[in-house]
Amino acid sequence: MDRKVGDSMRCAALYRVSTSRQAAHRDQGEESLPVQRQAIRRYVEAREGWTLVAEFAEEGVSAYRNSSEDRDVLQDVLRQAKERRFETLLLFKADRLSRQSFEYPFILTSLKRAGVRVIAVADEAGGRELRLEGQSDKLIRFIEGWQAETESLNTSIRVSEAMRQMAEKGRWTGGRPPYGYRYDKSASPVPLVIDPEEARWIKLAFDRYLNENVGTTTITFDMNTRGARQRNGSPWSDARLRSVMQNPIVAGRLAYGRTKRNGANKHRSSVGAHSLEGVILSNPYPELAIVDESRWQAAMQKMASYNNVALSTSTSWSRADSGALLFTGMARCAHCGGPLVHATVRGYKVRKDGTRLRDHHAAYLCHTRSARGAQFCDGQRTYAAKKVESALLAAMHGTLSAIPTEEIVKEARRQAEQSVWAASTRVSMLERKLAEVLKVKERWLERLNLFMAHPERSLYSEEVLASQVRESERTAASIKEELERLTAELEWNDAQRQRLEEFLASAHEWWHRFLNAPRMQQKALLKQIVSRVVVGKGGYEIHWRISPESLAGAAAVRWTQSEPWPSAARA
């Protein structure tokens, strides 16, 4: 793996811990940031000519919840790799790079294209290079990502259940304080206090909404005009303001389960306050109420009535769905984030002989630049539809076709069989242990019964006998709980394997269905596997989305594919 003695090697290191709690306790844990940093620095020092030229640390960033595009530090790593700032990227372990099965090999591919090797220093003695040379390497990388994602999901399920139990007891489940509040560990029983400045804007929004009958769109515009900003410094949006107003905490009630994650990335969506099914609400905490609960209820009823009207008048297809261009409704501008809409470009082409030929063609138009001017978007005004769609469809076809279906299914089955064997062995052992514990409990119960009939004949006191019975019951309950967990884990792993096989079996069939479908159905099929496409001067991004409904129960997977234009897509 190492170069010859004397060769120079510029290295960068990427450290990561998943939670803010891990980041705060910097000196704790087997995989804490100091442990990762020490291991990588020693690895570099042991190799002559190797130099650590850059270190990147992601503190409290989950590689399972966050896609690569939302991890700013990782994007810095990829950018510097493309700029040839270093030749080798060092990780503590492979899962520090990503815990999303399909995204993991894509990140490695981006680094390989930049000429960067990736080494996990603690995965095995001497480090392990994460290669992508042949089909077998690609298969191994995919399985590694899949295993890491499965492990993260199991952990997520356990943590979610613990948080739900805390919420049912009315306890604060942690996380970043909602807008309007700040964390105060001295506050009890909830470690939150009202932030006066933020609470002022919330009160203003409710007053205008209820007293002046002003809509949230107008309120948002006025707040931005008066200098109000979200915590990240960005202007308020109508959706964000509604989300803050709909949070029951502003009326003094903690709410758990109100937001739902959209797949395996970090983005969350909030249910409306008029639809709190499955949400756990605490008893009132008057000290946390920014608005009176009766006023909050009135505002929620008003929002619910508007939502009902909107739903009753909506149609199944929007103009974006039925339009002539394939990606309207999901195409965004890379420079301003605004939508790209359908436009017809009218002009002339000049032939070599100097004559002009009328040229009318369809294009994707940046709505922001068209409506508000170049000062709000520094990208192109239009992108030729033919060039954009041919490039995107070719990339999509290549991605779907490149998935090594048979090899992945074979390896997935092998991994599943190993997991089943290990778990089944553990189950058998626990069942034997449970039978032994129950026998011991029966013997202590017999002695306790004898004591109750003839205490003078017993070698043990009543307290000793009762404590032994209770200890046996606790041990048996613990074993039963472990058996239930293992059984559930076996069922879940088998279901995950089946979903993976179903997804892979559908990947190639999908493209044939797409090519033979009419335009409106093609747009619907695209939305099943792609959440959005981002188009810019330098290239495009495809934000993939494989949903359970579209692929016969396959688990949702997400990744981002970025490519430069094969040729300039200008209109």
Most confident of 84-93, 149-158, 184-193, 341-350: 84-93
Q: What is the pLDDT of residue 5?
A: 41
- 177 with 325, same domain? no
Residue 264 has pLDDT above 50, yes or no: no
Question: CA distances (Å), 16 to each of 156, 327, 458, in order?
Answer: 18, 36, 61
Residue 3 in domain? no
Q: Report yes or no on 192 lying in a domain.
A: yes
Do residue 125 and residue 185 come from a single domain? no
pLDDT in the model for residue 3: 46
Strand segments (E) across 246-339: 255-256, 259-261, 268-270, 280-281, 331-333
CA distances from 157 to 151, 164, 416, 489 (A): 10, 11, 20, 11
The band of 503, judged by pLDDT with boundaries at 50, 70 and 90, is low
**Does residue 163 lie within any of the structural domains?**
no
Residue for token digits 């060769």?
7
Query: CB of 190 within 8 A of CB of 288?
Result: yes
119: helix, strand or coil:
strand
C-alpha torsion sign, points 35, 41, 45, 47: positive
Examine residue 333 and state whether it is found in any structural domain, yes or no: yes
Collapsed DSSP state (helix, strand, coil) of residue 211:
helix
Do 359 and 476 lie in one domain? The reply is no
The DSSP bridge partners found for residue 544 are 530, 559
555: DSSP letter: P
The answer to whether the beta carbons of residues 381 and 369 sit under 8 Å apart is yes
Q: Are residues 546 and 422 in the same domain?
A: no
Q: What is the mean pLDDT of the chain?
A: 76
**Looking at the domain assignment, is residue 4 inside a domain?**
no
pLDDT surpasses 70 at 216: yes
Q: For 187-199, what is the mean pLDDT?
A: 89
271 and 145, same structural domain?
no
- As a whole number of angstroms, the distance between CA 324 and CA 101 comes to 34
Quickly tell me which residue has 């041990």 as its tokens.
475
435-470 per-position pLDDT tens digit: 998 998 888 888 888 888 888 877 878 888 888 888
Alpha-carbon distance of 340 to 323, in angstroms, equals 12
Q: Where a domain ends, among 472, 499, 526?
A: 499
How many domains are contained in the chain?
4
Least Cα distance to 409 among 507, 491, 488, 553 occurs for 507
Torsions phi, psi of 57, nearest 5? Answer: -125, 125
Phi, psi of 194 (to 5 degrees): -70, 135
Q: Which residues pair with 534 in a beta bridge?
A: 332, 541
Domain assignment present for 297: yes
Tell me whether residue 375 is in a domain: yes
196 pLDDT higher than 50: yes
Domain boundary among 264, 289, 313: 313
Q: Per-residue pLDDT for 531 more than 50?
A: yes
Same domain, 390 and 418: no
Q: Scanning the structure block, which residue is given the tokens 């290549």?
A: 398
Say which CATH number the domain at 212 has: 3.90.1750.20
Residue 202: partners with Cβ closer than 8 Å, 6 or more residues away = 179, 180, 244, 245, 250, 290, 291
Same-domain pairing of 394 and 455: no
- Give me the residue label for tokens 């200890």: 471
User: How many angstroms separate the CA atoms of 257 and 237, rounded?
Assistant: 23
Rounded Cα distance between 225 and 47, Å, is 58
Residue 567 carries which side chain, given as an amino acid letter? S
Looking at per-residue pLDDT, the higher value among 399 and 406 belongs to 399
Do 47 and 142 fall into the same domain?
yes
Provide DSSP, 47-75: STTEEEEEEEEEET--TTTS-GGG-HHHH
Q: Are residues 173 and 147 in the same domain?
A: no
pLDDT of the residue at 140: 59
CB atoms within 10 A of CB 77: 26
d(CA 31, CA 92): 8
Q: Which domain holds residue 71?
A: 9-155
Q: Give residue 227's identity as a one-letter amino acid code.
A: G
Residues 392 and 519 in one domain: yes
Residues 538 and 396 reside in one and the same domain: yes
- 322 has a pLDDT exceeding 60: no
Structural domain ending residue among the three candidates 499, 527, 542: 499
Indicate whether 423 and 528 sit together in one domain. Answer: no
Amino acid identity for residue 432 in this structure? R
User: Between 508 and 224, where is the model more confident?
Assistant: 224
Q: Helix, strand, or coil here: 343? A: strand
Give the model's pLDDT for residue 511: 76
Summarize pLDDT for 182-192 with one digit per residue, the tens. Answer: 988 888 788 88
Does 44 map to a domain? yes
